[in-house]
Chain A
């Protein structure tokens, strides 16, 4: 299994739709997880941190399943501005964070 694995997409969804992305990780010792958003040719920006079973922030919900070693990101009521690449990030220790390839989302009008 790759260290961090994501479906690259693209996911094309209409405005208002609910969309979910999964990310699997191989290091069972990882304790914290992050979702970042990256717009084209820009830096990754923190979207959500996941330290326990899950986290919710407005339209965004992240869930962690330690037994199956995956985290998910759910976006409700998609907006055009949500179009971006969503990066799953897993620390493999204090000093190294591994990025997934990212999942591209396109929200269509």
Chain B
């Protein structure tokens, strides 16, 4: 069964460092998303991506964040200068239109 894969599963970084989280969506899906979940809190929308451009983004997705689909398979989330409050689980999701299918997540710890 096709699945969304994410790397790394866990990354520890120092405050102010750049981080890139990678995702390989399901191959025939057209819509791609990043969500985050701070420990003990709800799943929060960050950004959606369709037709090689950002479709919608939340207030959380400020200038420190960017997304890219550099080739036909990868979908990346970059955080330019991490803050302590960026510590969270980051989930990538893809969709053919309708249901979202999630990867296992990348846990980011900012020290």
Give residues in A with beta carbon < 8 Å to B.
32, 34, 38, 41-46, 49, 87, 89, 93-102
B48 near A43 with CB under 8 A, answer no
> Using a CB-CB cutoff of 8 Å, which residues 56-111 of chain B contact chain A?
56, 58, 89, 91, 97-105
**From A102, which residue of chain B is reached at the shortest CB distance?**
B42
Give residues in B with beta carbon < 8 Å to A.
31, 33, 35, 41-45, 48, 50, 55-56, 58, 89, 91, 97-105
B91 near A43 with CB under 8 A, answer yes
Interface centre among B41, B91, B102 (most CB of A within 10 A): B102
Q: Which residues of B contact A101 (CB under 8 A)?
A: 41-42
A34 near B99 with CB under 8 A, answer yes
A96 near B45 with CB under 8 A, answer yes
A99 near B55 with CB under 8 A, answer no
B45 near A46 with CB under 8 A, answer no
B104 near A43 with CB under 8 A, answer yes
B89 near A46 with CB under 8 A, answer no
Q: Which residues of B contact A44 (CB under 8 A)?
A: 43, 91, 100, 102
A46 near B99 with CB under 8 A, answer yes
Q: Which residues of A contact B42 (CB under 8 A)?
A: 99-102
Q: Which residues of B contact A95 (CB under 8 A)?
A: 31, 48, 50, 55-56
Q: Which residues of A contact B55 (CB under 8 A)?
A: 94-95
A96 near B56 with CB under 8 A, answer yes
B100 near A97 with CB under 8 A, answer yes
Q: Among the listed B45, B97, B102, B103, which residue makes an inter-chain contact with A98, where contact means beta carbons less than 8 Å apart?
A: B45
